[in-house]
Amino acid sequence: MIVYWCLLYVFRSICRSVCLHPVLCSLVFTLTQPEVKTVQQGQKATIECSMDVALTYDDLAWYQQKPGEAPKLLIHDINSLYSGTPSRFSGSGTAYTGKDFSLTISGVQTEDTGDYYCQSYHNINSKRVFTQ
């Protein structure tokens, strides 16, 4: 019997705002993710993302990145699957007031191995401030 292991690598991501507006540049938003998750194939994996500032709307996305490739959008607006994202992926969290969000993979497959990132943006004085 062969046991397949799927490693989901999630490196600590301390994301800071990028902006061109001098007032907005004094603001700093931080997202924190756990470093590494190891999950056996077929199991459920949950990856968490915590923010130090609540979302203004539902502007949180999840990305998957594989070695040598650009990040691929999986989920936008907290829990909306992007076109082509398998239904085993789901996002959760509270819009407007939430600081804690999660990405769940139900029934992890070997092709799910990769780095996972959350990203948010904030609307401040009609300007969008992105974390990087």
On the CB side of 62, CA atoms within 13 Å amount to: 28
The predicted pLDDT at position 92 comes to 94
Q: What does pTM read for this prediction? A: 0.70
For position 22, what pLDDT does the model report?
41
Distance of alpha carbon 100 from alpha carbon 51, whole angstroms? 6
Of the candidates 121, 114, 87, the one whose C-alpha atom is nearest the C-alpha of residue 15 is: 121
129: pLDDT strictly greater than 70: no
Name the burial class of residue 74, with classes exposed (0-12), middle (13-18) and buried (19+) by CB atoms within 10 angstroms of its CB: buried
Percentage of the chain surpassing pLDDT 70? Answer: 61
Condensed to tens digits (0 to 9), the pLDDT of residues 16-53 reads 333 334 444 444 556 666 667 788 899 999 998 887 77
Would residue 87 be called left, alpha or beta, if left means φ above 0 and alpha means ψ between -120 and 50 degrees? alpha
* Full set of structural domains in the chain with CATH: 5-131 (2.60.40.10)
Terminal Cα distance for the chain, rounded:
43
Please check whether residue 31 is in contact with residue 119, taking contact to mean a CB–CB distance below 8 angstroms.
yes
pLDDT tens digits, 85-100: 999 999 998 877 778 8
Q: What is the chain's mean pLDDT, rounded?
A: 73
Provide CB contacts within 8 A for 84, sequence distance 6+: none
